[in-house]
Amino acid sequence: MLTIKQITENTEAVIRGLEKKHFKNAKETIDQVIALNDKRRTTQNQLDKNLAEVNSLSRTIGQLMKEGKKEEAESARARVAELKEGNKELDAVMTQAATEMQNVLYTIPNVPYDSVPEGVGAEDNVVEKMGGMETELPKDALPHWELAKKYDLIDFDLGVKITGAGFPVYKGKGAQLQRALINFFLDEARKSGYTEIMPPTVVNAASGYGTGQLPDKEGQMYHCEVDDLYLIPTAEVPVTNIYRDVILEEKQLPIMNCAYTQCFRREAGSYGKDVRGLNRLHEFSKVELVRIDKPEHSKQSHQEMLDHVEGLLQKLELPYRILRLCGGDMSFTAALCFDFEVYSEAQKRWLEVSSVSNFDTYQANRLKCRYRNADKKTELCHTLNGSALALPRIVAALLENNQTPEGIRIPKVLVPYCGFDMID
Mean pLDDT within 312-329: 97
- b or e along 98-118 (b: 16 or more beta carbons within 10 Å of the residue's beta carbon)? bebbeeebeebbbbbbeebbe
Mean pLDDT within 238-244: 98
The annotation status of 354 as a binding-site residue, yes or no, is yes
pLDDT of residue 274: 72
Mean pLDDT lowest for which of 132-136, 242-246, 333-337, 377-381?
132-136
The annotation status of 28 as a binding-site residue, yes or no, is no
Q: Is the pLDDT of residue 270 over 70?
A: no
More confident residue, 137 or 177: 177
Beta strand 195-197 with 370-372 is unpaired
The residue type of 132 is: G
Q: Is the pLDDT of residue 62 over 60?
A: yes
pLDDT of residue 53: 87
When the pLDDT of each residue in the chain is averaged and rounded to a whole number, the result is: 94
The annotation status of 183 as a binding-site residue, yes or no, is no
Q: What is the pLDDT of residues 284-303, one digit of tens each?
A: 999 999 999 999 999 999 99
Give the percent of the chain with pLDDT over 90: 85
Q: Are 353 and 160 spatial neighbours (Cβ–Cβ below 8 Å)?
A: no
pLDDT of residue 234: 97
The annotation status of 355 as a binding-site residue, yes or no, is yes
Alpha-carbon gap, residue 25 to 218, rounded angstroms: 21
Mean pLDDT within 25-45: 97
CATH 1.10.287 intervals, the chain: 4-107
CA distances to 1, 162, 167, 247, 363 from 210, in Å: 9, 33, 28, 15, 6
pLDDT of residue 269: 55
Tally of residues, the chain: 424
pLDDT of residue 100: 97
Q: Is the pLDDT of residue 268 over 80?
A: no
Mean pLDDT within 262-279: 79
Mean pLDDT within 226-230: 97
69: confidence class by pLDDT, cuts 50, 70, 90: confident
Q: Is the pLDDT of residue 271 over 60?
A: no
Q: Is the pLDDT of residue 211 over 60?
A: yes
The annotation status of 267 as a binding-site residue, yes or no, is yes
CATH architecture of 4-107: Orthogonal Bundle (1.10)
pLDDT of residue 267: 81
Q: What is the pLDDT of residues 176-207, one digit of tens each?
A: 999 999 999 999 999 999 999 999 999 999 99
CATH 3.30.930.10 intervals, the chain: 122-423
310: confidence class by pLDDT, cuts 50, 70, 90: very high
Enter the pTM of the model. 0.92
272: confidence class by pLDDT, cuts 50, 70, 90: low
More confident residue, 53 or 122: 122
The annotation status of 265 as a binding-site residue, yes or no, is yes
The annotation status of 353 as a binding-site residue, yes or no, is yes
CATH architecture of 122-423: 2-Layer Sandwich (3.30)
pLDDT of residue 138: 81
